[in-house]
Structure 1
Amino acid sequence: MEKHKLNYLNKALEDLPLSSAIAFVLKNTEGKKVFSTSFGIEDQLLTHYIAPHADEVSIFTLDTGRQFNETYEVFHKTQSKYPSLKIQTYFPEEEDVRQYANQNGINGFYDSIEKRKQCCCIRKVKPLQRAISGASLWITGLRAEQSPNREGMQYLEWDDANRLVKYNPLLHYTLQEVEQLTTMNKIPVSSLYKKGYLSIGCAPCTRALLPGEDFRAGRWWWENGKKECGLHIHSDKNY
């Protein structure tokens, strides 16, 4: 998509409520549109607003094979609440997982950042590439408040690594606003969320937050520095 059109669309989105913004973007973009959900609170909110457009958006989730059971529970509740949605599941390649476990052990990701990123690549990044193949628009639940690395993002931006436009409808929403909307609309939320799991990933790599901790502190808590898995890349930054 041309830069001037992205600028025009981003300007138009500034004052639109969520439901209108999503409808506007879907109407003004062409090609295959996909939405990735991890069943976290942000993605659950977006699922609610994308449900009326189920015939226009392909919805998928990445099952890494190391999920919390609570994630499967909210997956089931979501399908029950929105029967029109067909959520496709993408799994890692069996041979990739087998080779990793044979070389590094089943929990080798605790040994080094490199091994952890290798595991994320096998279980998340490579399946994502299959899921978004051929897409022109990828809808995500990213919020600027979640990380300093995300503050410079826009609603719509060109994702050069994946060669598509990424749409972040909740970019400027606060966590409180997300919580209020999910409560108001009686949207299923993982039971882990109320236990302090604000960012839920694989079970071995996620813990509950302690009082006053940063939003991402519960992910890969044994590492220092920027904590991301490589799914979201913007210029030279991994989100």
Structure 2
Amino acid sequence: MSQFNANQFALENDTESPKKIIAQAFEQFDNIAISFSGAEDVLLIELACKVIKDRSKIRVFSLDTGRLHPETYRFIDKVRQHYGITIDIMTPEHNALQNFVREKGLFSFFEDGHQECCGVRKVAPLRRKLSTLDAWITGQRKDQSPGTRNNVPVAENDTAFGTPESPLVKFNPLANWSSEQVWDFIRMFDVPYNELHEKGFTSIGCEPCTRAVLPNQHEREGRWWWEESTHKECGLHSGNLQK
């Protein structure tokens, strides 16, 4: 799989539909999984189910930080049942989390930033999962965060989690879609969605770090609202900050 040229793929498929990009991703890689955050990236699962007839080949994982909204936990299980798939739930390493909470408490991110907490609760479990894969599929879109995601390609070499010895490819099939396109699709095909979206939540993360946004606010303004807009990445896509 190291022969796959992500940059060339991105150039040749930049204008292709998310559905076709997902189909090609599964054609190129057997050891591939979809990252599902419990938000609108459920589209990735919907599209995969449309192009992959054998649903046992659709591998999905989600990160349970231990701090998600109750609505998000219910939504994850709703998606599992709706599509008849298995969702691998990745949780923080017990000792690392216990030591962090003992030292810093439950709300240290309000004082010293969210990166350390996200590192324990999200990045480490993700790294553990990605170490078992050759490629993964994410729901990143350029319009989600103009400061950090405006250059997201439809495919890339994951420099944050992959290495030259163990390369990792990241597919972003929704990169060129707008929020409006996403929600048009959800409504058209009756795709399940997190009920928090009906309460003003757009970008949904952990309960303490996510709040509803006002009309005309950017969707990421509800995430880590006490920090600068350029810091609004948790580390899952830290490669964006280097672009």
What TM-score do the two structures reach when normalised by structure 2? 0.89
For 1:18 and 1:190, the matched residues in 2 are separated by 21
CA spacing shift, 1:70–1:236, aligned 2, 3 Å: closer
For 1:7 and 1:222, the matched residues in 2 are separated by 36
CA spacing shift, 1:11–1:236, aligned 2, 3 Å: closer
Aligned to 1:154: 153
1:49 maps onto 2:47 in alignment: yes
2:216 to 208, 212, 221: 212
Aligned to 1:35: 34
For 2:83 and 2:175, the matched residues in 1 are separated by 24
SS at match of 1:96: helix
Q: Is the CA contact (8 Å cut-off) linking 1:158 and 1:166 kept in structure 2?
A: yes
Q: Is the CA contact (8 Å cut-off) linking 2:221 and 2:229 kept in structure 1?
A: no
Give the C-alpha shift of residue 236 in structure 1.
Answer: 5.0
Which letter does structure 2 place at the counterpart of 1:156? A
Pairwise mapping of residues 57-68 of structure 1 onto structure 2 (< 5 A)?
57-68=58-69
What CA RMSD, in Å, does the superposition of the two structures yield over aligned residues? 1.8
Give the C-alpha shift of residue 55 in structure 1.
Answer: 3.3
For 1:136 and 1:58, the matched residues in 2 are separated by 13
2:235 to 216, 223, 230: 230
Deviations 1:28-84 (A, max 9, x none): x2351011101101x11111112353333421000000010000121122122111x
Which letter does structure 2 place at the counterpart of 1:32? N
Pairwise mapping of residues 64-79 of structure 1 onto structure 2 (< 5 A)?
64-79=65-80
SS at match of 1:60: strand
Structure 2 residue runs without a partner (length 5+): 163-167
> Where in structure 1 do 4 or more consecutive aligned residues deviate above 6 Å?
none
SS at match of 1:46: helix
Aligned to 2:133: 135
Structure 1 residue runs without a partner (length 5+): none
Deviations 1:205-237 (A, max 9, x none): 100012222221111111124211111022753
For 2:108 and 2:11, the matched residues in 1 are separated by 46
For 1:75 and 1:197, the matched residues in 2 are separated by 16
Which letter does structure 1 place at the counterpart of 2:170? K
Q: Is the CA contact (8 Å cut-off) linking 1:160 and 1:235 kept in structure 2?
A: no
The structure carrying a bigger strand percent of its residues is 1
For 1:167 and 1:61, the matched residues in 2 are separated by 16
Pairwise mapping of residues 97-112 of structure 1 onto structure 2 (< 5 A)?
97-112=97-112
For 2:145 and 2:219, the matched residues in 1 are separated by 8
CA spacing shift, 1:99–1:10, aligned 2, 3 Å: same
Matched positions, count: 232
